[in-house]
């Protein structure tokens, strides 16, 4: 397991791939993939995402290439293959028609009016092994996931805002919050938990917010062990209960629950509202003091929270949002957090879920 940017219970901080000759290459016989530095849309510990063009349609797509560092058949290669196949399974499941979950706390009528493709990144293609199953491309010996190309990420918006290039109004914050909540509520309605929600994993495609980087998604109530290297998390956005799990010697397993994502959604909305959270500030301060142990110190502080973290910066600009975050999402006791579907029932939640009017002039695609 690892922290992405982070931690993969190891880290998702991947250096951009080695310099390659030429400016493009044909992948899987159907996609012309750019090899220039500007064609890199994002990267993680085990993968890199590049811009490409589908040869028969001239449509732009994003290609995620998994990188295996171990020997063929090694534990590391098996872990990467498990992540790859899980991503394919999840992306396929996310495009299937809705079904109402047995627990009505995870359902909201808004979902029924949305096509899954409006909320989740569309899978275009993927590499297959000699038997036709998801796996290493039989000719190129590589793992590829091809998806639609997004316009920009929520992280891009936040960076543009910090540089003074973009203003986000109070109404846009609420509309963005509603979009984030709807997307992740829909994931939970499908019975899945993301575990690494953060601004870079929320992409805008044609004005619609969509969720990416689902190779770490697991079914709710799954029991995870610390030794599982196919699961990622990011300390600044992870929940207090996850922080305690990472730090504890015993137990060495945890049951995955949607409330873990609820906390991450709260931190993300906090950053959307004021540009940063106390967790990110705490992390930056700890990095300055403990260059190597900052993540562990942050997790220790986070895991020890008994009351919601101070959100004075949010209260100063939007008291109603402050109350919403404090009482509904950023509650240290996970059993007291509301479900995201319940959040959509909140009277102040806008019916419009869009970030189209707040657009930075950049395009990235994280690591899908």
pLDDT of residue 362: 54
Collect all residues with Cβ–Cβ distance below 8 Å to 70 and sequence separation of at least 6: 76, 77
Task: Determine the Cα–Cα distance for residues 232 and 241; give it in Å rounded to an integer.
Answer: 15
Q: How confident is the model at residue 30 (pLDDT cuts 50, 70, 90)?
A: very high
Between the CA of residue 284 and those of 160, 277, 291, what are the distances in Å? 19, 11, 10
Is 227 or 88 the better-scoring residue by pLDDT?
Answer: 88
Report the DSSP beta bridge partners of residue 192.
Answer: 219
Task: Determine the Cα–Cα distance for residues 71 and 74; give it in Å rounded to an integer.
Answer: 5
State yes or no: 114 annotated in a binding site. no
Lowest mean pLDDT among 139-143, 194-198, 334-338: 139-143
Q: How confident is the model at residue 363 (pLDDT cuts 50, 70, 90)?
A: low
Report the DSSP beta bridge partners of residue 49.
Answer: 42, 64
Residue 237 pLDDT greater than 60, yes or no:
yes
pLDDT, mean of residues 12-22: 40
Q: How confident is the model at residue 204 (pLDDT cuts 50, 70, 90)?
A: very high
pLDDT of residue 20: 45
Burial class (CB in 10 A: 0-12, 13-18, 19+), 288: exposed
pLDDT, mean of residues 246-265: 92
pLDDT of residue 10: 35
The answer to whether residues 273 and 173 touch, using CB atoms and an 8 Å cutoff, is: yes
Residue burial 336-345, b: 16+ Cβ < 10 Å; e: rest? ebbbbbbbbe
Task: Determine the Cα–Cα distance for residues 293 and 312; give it in Å rounded to an integer.
Answer: 27
Structure tokens at 23: 């400016």
The answer to whether residues 51 and 64 touch, using CB atoms and an 8 Å cutoff, is: no
Q: For the chain, list the domains and their CATH numbers.
A: 24-148 (3.30.200.20), 152-345 (1.10.510.10)
Residue 111 pLDDT greater than 80, yes or no:
yes
Structure tokens at 114: 């949305």
Task: Determine the Cα–Cα distance for residues 201 and 177; give it in Å rounded to an integer.
Answer: 15
Q: What is the CA radius of gyration of the chain?
A: 20
Q: Is the alpha carbon torsion for 123, 129, 134, 135 positive or negative?
A: negative
pTM to 2 decimals?
0.88
Residue 286 pLDDT greater than 80, yes or no:
no
pLDDT, mean of residues 107-114: 95
Structure tokens at 149: 């190309």
pLDDT of residue 41: 93
């Amino acid at each position: 397991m690892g922290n992405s940017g982070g931690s993969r219970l190891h880290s998702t901080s991947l250096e951009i791939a080695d310099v390659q000759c030429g400016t493009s290459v044909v992948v899987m016989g159907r996609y012309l993939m750019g090899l220039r530095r500007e064609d890199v849309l994002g990267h993680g510990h085990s993968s890199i995402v590049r811009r490409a063009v589908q040869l028969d349609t001239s449509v732009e797509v994003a290609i995620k290439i998994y990188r295996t560092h171990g020997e063929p058949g090694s534990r590391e290669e098996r872990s990467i293959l498990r992540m790859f196949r899980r991503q394919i399974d999840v992306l396929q499941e996310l495009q299937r028609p809705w079904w109402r979950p047995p627990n009505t706390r995870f359902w909201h009528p808004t979902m029924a009016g949305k096509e899954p493709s409006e909320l989740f990144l569309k899978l275009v293609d993927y590499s297959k092994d000699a038997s036709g199953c998801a796996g290493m491309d039989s000719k190129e010996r590589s793992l590829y996931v091809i998806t639609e190309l997004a316009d920009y990420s929520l992280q891009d918006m936040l960076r543009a805002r910090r540089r003074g290039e973009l203003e986000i109004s109070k109404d846009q914050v609420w509309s963005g919050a509603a979009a984030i909540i709807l997307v992740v509520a829909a994931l939970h309605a499908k019975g899945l938990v993301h575990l690494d929600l953060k601004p870079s994993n929320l992409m805008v495609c044609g004005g619609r917010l969509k969720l990416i980087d689902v190779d770490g998604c697991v079914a709710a109530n799954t029991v995870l062990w610390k030794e599982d290297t196919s699961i990622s998390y990011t300390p600044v956005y992870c929940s207090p209960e996850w922080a305690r799990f990472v730090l504890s010697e015993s137990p060495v397993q945890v049951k995955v629950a949607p409330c873990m994502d609820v906390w991450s959604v709260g931190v993300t909305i906090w950053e959307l509202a004021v540009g940063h959270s106390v967790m990110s500030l705490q992390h930056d301060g700890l990095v300055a003091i403990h260059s190597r142990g900052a993540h562990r110190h942050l997790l220790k502080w986070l895991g020890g929270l008994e009351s919601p973290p101070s959100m004075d910066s949010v209260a100063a600009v939007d008291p109603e949002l402050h109350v919403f975050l404090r009482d509904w999402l950023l509650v240290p006791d996970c059993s007291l957090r509301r479900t995201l579907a319940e959040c959509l029932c909140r009277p102040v939640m806008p019916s419009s879920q869009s970030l189209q009017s707040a657009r930075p002039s950049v395009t990235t695609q994280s690591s899908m």
